[in-house]
């Protein structure tokens, strides 16, 4: 196992071998919306600029909560798509299966529970395994017709890794696995994840198998890369590893027409904005507790705060946001929004919120939104446990730090901010930090270097 480091310049990798071909397996890809599609989308965009031709394998009918047609504008015109259908039920149906029973639907509670348990036991590692057969067949036919230099699979869903491993066996094309999230952490916190002991045993075997098939493995943080190196050794794999952060796209940060739809900040209000999905790993509960405490102690100060929550929310997280609506704070509760609109919301903010729950494994997680926060040079209200996110914010950001279990400190901090008694509370640097190393283009250069290395090694092995 080899860990790739990035001390040496990688620009030369971008200029070598024009005309390479890559098969990208991405269950979630535009017009699917959400934060998870940004990484593969930006890779397709910047890989094409570097001379790589990308074929995207993605389902025609993905079972997903949100769509964003505007993202298709960023896809290069000559991108080839393979779109086999999945046999999954719709996301709405899956959601209905998981909602808590109401008095009117209580008679269906037991059958729904049995169906959930049956589906969770059979559909391993996730419901998206129902896409596996058609996806493997379609990709195999395409690779045999038009050989590619490498296959890159991004997950979750982790059944996509099984597709990549099958293609490695059938077509002998080098395989790179991109862990947008760690498999173990996703199983612990994601919606609809299978969590029984049998699922853990089965998926542990699955993960070892795909790691043995991989030529390289990508993590989104340095701490996660170290964790995956341990997993690779345990699996008996020789895969090399790399850390490629999510980053921000400079093209996205340009002011656009989306800003006209954003409500103006009322006079005297301090606007805080959170963007992205609220779920178990990014719980808003600590922030709500701090604002509720502020309301109890200083309702006039609380009335000067406006919190905008932009994005999808699980039912539990929606209940926390609804609680805040009973205080003096202004609450803007907005559902999923286009990426242009999200950037406009961030531009309108006096401060942006970065949330990460204090749970096992969170120290290895860096929310993708952090890089856009840093690039916009917005003050960050960071409610985080110790870990890599804390380190990045401390190094590059302007932030007020709080532990998730410290609502009193948060309430006091916000009272000082809105009263302007503590102008140094944000700890502004003299000059904004240079965060260009986290641009999507620079991060794609790292991917290019990895691809070139994997492809070259594979061809060297073939000629021996």
Give the pLDDT confidence score for residue 99 in this predicted structure: 54
Mean pLDDT (whole number) for 297-313? 96
How many helices (H) and strands (E) would you count in the chain?
17, 13
Q: CATH for 11-95+120-247+440-463?
A: 3.40.50.2000
CATH 3.40.50.2000 correct for 250-438: yes
**In the prediction, which pLDDT does 261 show?**
80
In the predicted model, what is the mean pLDDT of residues 398-413?
86
Query: Which has the closest alpha carbon to 209: 232, 176, 186, 180?
Result: 232
Distance between CA 16 and CA 452 in Å, rounded? 8
Do 11-95+120-247+440-463 and 250-438 have matching folds?
Answer: yes
Of the candidate ranges 96-110, 228-242, 257-271, the one whose mean pLDDT is the lowest: 96-110
Residue 191's pLDDT is 63
DSSP sequence for 203-239: HHHHHHHHHHH-SEEEESSHHHHHHHHHHHHHHT---
Asked whether 245 and 220 are in contact (CB, 8 A), the reply is yes
pLDDT digit string (tens) for 188-216?
877 656 667 888 999 999 999 999 999 99
Domain ranges of the chain: 11-95+120-247+440-463, 250-438
Percent of the chain topping pLDDT 90: 73
């Amino acid at each position: 196992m080899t860990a790739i480091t990035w001390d040496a310049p990688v620009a030369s990798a971008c200029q070598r071998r024009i005309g390479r071909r890559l098969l990208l397996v991405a269950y979630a890809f535009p017009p699917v919306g959400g934060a998870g599609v940004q990484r593969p989308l930006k890779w397709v965009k910047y890989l094409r600029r570097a001379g790589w031709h990308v074929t995207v394998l993605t389902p025609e009918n993905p079972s997903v909560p949100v769509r964003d047609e505007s993202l298709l504008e960023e896809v290069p015109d000559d991108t080839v798509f393979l779109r086999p259908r999945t046999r999954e039920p719709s996301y709405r149906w899956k959601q209905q299966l998981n909602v808590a029973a109401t008095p009117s639907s209580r008679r269906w509670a037991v059958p729904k529970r049995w169906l959930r348990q049956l589906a969770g036991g059979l559909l391993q590692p996730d419901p998206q395994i129902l896409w596996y057969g058609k996806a493997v067949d379609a990709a195999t036919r395409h690779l045999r017709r038009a050989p590619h230099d490498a296959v890159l699979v991004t997950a979750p869903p982790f059944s996509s890794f099984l597709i990549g491993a099958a293609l490695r066996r059938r077509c002998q094309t080098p395989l790179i696995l991109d862990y947008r999230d760690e498999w173990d952490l996703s199983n612990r916190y994601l919606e609809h994840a299978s969590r029984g002991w049998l699922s853990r045993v089965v998926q542990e075997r699955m993960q070892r198998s795909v790691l043995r098939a991989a030529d390289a493995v990508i993590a989104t943080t340095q701490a996660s890369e170290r964790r995956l190196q341990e997993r690779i050794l345990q699996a008996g794999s020789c895969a090399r590893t790399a850390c490629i952060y999510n980053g921000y796209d400079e093209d996205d940060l340009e002011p656009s027409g989306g800003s006209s739809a954003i409500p103006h900040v009322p006079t005297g209000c301090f606007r805080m904005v959170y963007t992205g999905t609220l779920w178990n790993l990014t719980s808003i509960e600590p922030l709500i507790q701090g604002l509720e405490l502020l309301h109890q102690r200083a309702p006039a100060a609380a009335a000067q705060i406006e919190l905008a929550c932009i994005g999808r929310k699980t039912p539990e997280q929606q209940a926390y946001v609804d609680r805040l609506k009973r205080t003096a704070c202004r609450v803007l509760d907005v559902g999923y929004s286009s990426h242009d609109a999200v950037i406009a919301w961030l531009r309108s903010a006096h401060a942006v919120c970065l949330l990460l729950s204090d749970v096992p494994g969170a120290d290895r997680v860096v929310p993708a939104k952090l890089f856009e926060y840093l690039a916009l040079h917005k003050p960050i209200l960071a409610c985080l446990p110790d870990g890599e996110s804390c380190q990045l914010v401390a190094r590059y950001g302007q932030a007020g730090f709080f532990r998730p279990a410290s609502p009193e400190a948060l309430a006091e901090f916000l009272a000082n901010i809105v009263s302007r008694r503590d102008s140094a509370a944000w700890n502004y640097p003299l000059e904004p930090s240079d965060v260009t190393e986290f641009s999507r283009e620079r991060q794609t250069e790292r991917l290019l270097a990895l691809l070139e290395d994997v492809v070259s090694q594979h061809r060297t092995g073939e000629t021996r």
